[in-house]
Each structure stands twice: as structure tokens, then as C-alpha cells.
Amino acid sequence: MGLNDRTIWEVQWHPGGGGRFRRLVLTRRGLRRALIALGLAGVLALAIVGALPLGLRGFLTSFTVDAARRDNRALKARRDSLRERSLALAGRVYVQLQRGRRLAWAIGLPQGAWGAPCPAPPAAGAADETAAAWLSQQGARLERLGSELAGAGAGSLRCPLAAMPTGPPINESHAVAVALYGWRLSPFTGKTEAHYGTTLAAPEGEPVLAAGGGRVLFAGVVRERATNDWTRMGNLVVIDHGGEVATVFGHLRDIAVKRGQIVARGDRIGTVGQTGWTRVPALYYELRWPTGGASRPIDPGLVTLSLPVEDLDARLADPSAGLPPEYPALERLPTGGAARPIRRRPVRNDPQGSPRARQ
């Protein structure tokens, strides 16, 4: 027997009944053959798996790949949700910062608090790092502005804070601004004219509210031809807020206050109507503010925060927007006046071709 036939280990089995015993002998040669057979089987198995990419190999790896894909989809959805929330938050921060700048200007804080323009919030496709940096910078600025507003002294106010006309003159969700402060094309004459207030279209009968506390300076309708600018506004209410600050409400259907009455912010002073020079039910809202050495009309959105402002930085630099000073003077209002419904008639053209509203 050669060395390759030397026994490595041997197993014998002897039956208890005296039957034939058996044995299993493993030699060196047998062990070598077994190892070679196992190696060939392993190589064959690897070759089969490599030749079947969509078969056995796909089956073996499908569990881990599907789980990874599910995790990736969940992470992507979460990232997209966080991006949308951050952009929405940036939009809210921008709105609040712009309103804070208007309020800081209105209460007389130094220009350093409200003068610097606010960059627009990141667009929808902006990188995450850009949005995060914008939120960090403008959020910190909003916090500083809030601290300055909270610490503002009463000495800087144009009028008492409770009287300042910062409130909405009408429910925001029920009104649409159809003419902002500035130059506009007149719907009656077809010519460009100065528009000293904001016109809000709203359902007839919609409540009109005092934007701030004050005393009713005028309530009624102006009939005198000498004050034709006032007659265009139909039923009219003017509120004096003190400190040369006043608000004007025109085109009212009904008037719920009288001259000399004290009102608070949010009190109902009348309803939206179609009196005076207007083609649709609307509210004409005007703000008189001490600027340039006189109380004159300015963009009401600078103080009444619910109203839109077309170009805030330009308005802060020039609140009167360069409009001419030939605006109706409050001193020309009659000392009395009672609200009377105005009969609306169709607009007709006068002999010179200039349309006028008959009242």
C-alpha cells in the first residue's frame, strides 16, 4: 500500500444481532478526490450564478436592492418635503419682514431699521444651501427688527399707537385692489390721472371698518360744485387720527357714524357702495400723512399693512410717489353733512366728450 493509500481515519459499525459489520475508511487519496470534487462543484456554482444575471443572482440580491430603493425613495420624498417647507417659510419671512419695515417707517424708527432692501426669497429651483443661507440671514434680520419695534418709544409715533391706521379697512378675503396709489388711466375720462388712494372692489354692503382709532371729521355727501373732487367720492367718511394723520373712505352705500363720533380700530363705519364716480361697488381708501411739511396723501399700504404696495423701496424713499400736490384739501369739506343715499344713474358724456357721473 502506497503512502496515498494510508488511512487517515476509519469508522466501524458492528450490529448488535451479530450481523455483518461495516466500516468506512478515509485515505489520503480519497480525501484529495473529495476536495477536488468540492472545488469543481464550487467553480461550477459560481459559473452558473455569473451566467444568470436575471436569474439566481437577481433573486439572491433582490431583497437588499429593493430595500435600498425603498429607503432612497423615502429619503428623496423627505428631502423634497423639507425643501418645499423651507421655501414656504422663506416666503412668510419675506412678507413679515416687508411688513415690519413698513411699520418701522410708520412709527418713526431710524432709517437703519427699515431702509435696507430685502432680497427676494429663493426661487423653487434654488440649491438647499442657498435657501438655508437666506433663511439664516433674513430670519436674524427679522428678529432684530422685531426687537427694535418692541423697544420703540412713544415719542417717535406720528399719532397714538391705538389710533394709527394699521388695520384693514375691509375684510381682505372679500376685496380686490383694482387701482393702487399712483398714476392710473381714468375709467371715466380715459386720461392718465393721479390716484391718491387705493380702490378696493368688494360686494355691495360689505362692512367698512375704521383702520385706527380717532374722531369722525366728516360723514355724509358733499354736494357743493366748488368741491367737485369730493363729490366724486359719493357718501364719504373722514377720520382724524391725530398728529395730522387722517383716513378717507369713499363710495359708501351706508354710513354708520356721524361727525364728531369717537371710533376705535375695527369699528364699523359704513358699507361698500357704488356712490359717486365708480362703475362697480368699491371702497376708495386714502391716507393723509405728515410729510414734506404738510399732511398729504401717501400710499396707504405704507401704514395699513393689509394693503398691497407695488414697489416698497420706492415708496419708502418717496411716500407721495411724486404725485402733484393738487389734491382735495380736508379744509374744504363742509362742517356738517348727513349721509343720504345717492341715486345712481348711467354715466353719460357731456358736450365736450368728458364723461361724468350724474348724482
pLDDT (tens digit per residue) in 38-69: 888 877 777 766 665 555 555 556 667 778 88
The three grid cell numbers given for residue 205, joined into one nine-digit string: 354692503
Number of H helices, E strands in the chain: 6, 16
Q: Do 46 and 124 lie in a common domain?
A: no
Indicate whether 161 belongs to any domain. Answer: no
Cross-strand pairs, 349: 355
Q: Do 150 and 281 lie in a common domain?
A: no
Domain end, chosen from 98, 123, 154, is at: 154
Cross-strand pairs, 262: 215
Q: Do 62 and 188 lie in a common domain?
A: no
Q: Do 257 and 176 lie in a common domain?
A: yes
What one-character DSSP code corresponds to residue 327?
P
In angstroms, the CA 172 to CA 310 distance is: 17
The three grid cell numbers given for residue 292, joined into one nine-digit string: 414734506
Residues 6+ away with beta carbon under 8 Å from 12:
21, 22, 23, 24
Indicate whether 217 belongs to any domain. Answer: yes
Cross-strand pairs, 195: 182
Q: Do 101 and 236 lie in a common domain?
A: no
Q: Do 217 and 73 lie in a common domain?
A: no
Q: Do 17 and 63 lie in a common domain?
A: no
HSE of 252, CA atoms in CB hemisphere, 13 A = 29
Indicate whether 160 belongs to any domain. Answer: no
Q: Do 98 and 244 lie in a common domain?
A: no
Backbone angles phi, psi at 207, to 5 degrees: -60, 140
In angstroms, the CA 208 to CA 252 distance is: 8
The pLDDT profile of the chain, 359 residues, written as one tens digit per residue, is: 555 666 666 666 667 666 676 766 667 777 777 778 888 887 777 776 666 555 555 555 666 777 888 888 888 888 888 888 999 999 999 999 999 999 999 998 999 999 999 999 998 888 888 989 999 999 999 999 999 988 887 666 778 888 999 999 999 999 999 999 999 888 887 889 999 999 999 999 999 999 999 999 999 998 766 557 888 899 999 999 999 999 999 999 999 999 999 999 999 999 999 999 999 999 999 999 998 888 999 999 999 999 999 899 999 999 998 899 888 889 888 875 444 443 333 333 333 333 333 33
How many structural domains is the chain composed of?
A: 3
Find the helix packing angle between 56-106 and 128-150, rounded to 10°.
30
| CA-based nearest residue to 328, from 215, 227, 180 | 227
Q: 3-class DSSP state for residue 247?
A: strand
Q: Do 212 and 317 lie in a common domain?
A: yes
HSE of 226, CA atoms in CB hemisphere, 13 A = 5
pLDDT for 328-356, tens place per residue? Answer: 889 888 875 444 443 333 333 333 333 33
**Domain around 7:** 3-51
Q: Measured in whole angstroms, how far is the alpha carbon of residue 309 from the centre of its chain?
A: 14
Domain end, chosen from 105, 125, 154, is at: 154
Indicate whether 167 belongs to any domain. Answer: no
80: left (phi over 0), alpha (psi -120 to 50) or beta: alpha
Q: Do 272 and 340 lie in a common domain?
A: yes
In angstroms, the CA 359 to CA 353 distance is: 18
Rg (CA), the chain: 41
Domain end, chosen from 96, 123, 154, is at: 154
pLDDT for 70-79, tens place per residue? Answer: 888 888 888 8
Indicate whether 163 belongs to any domain. Answer: no
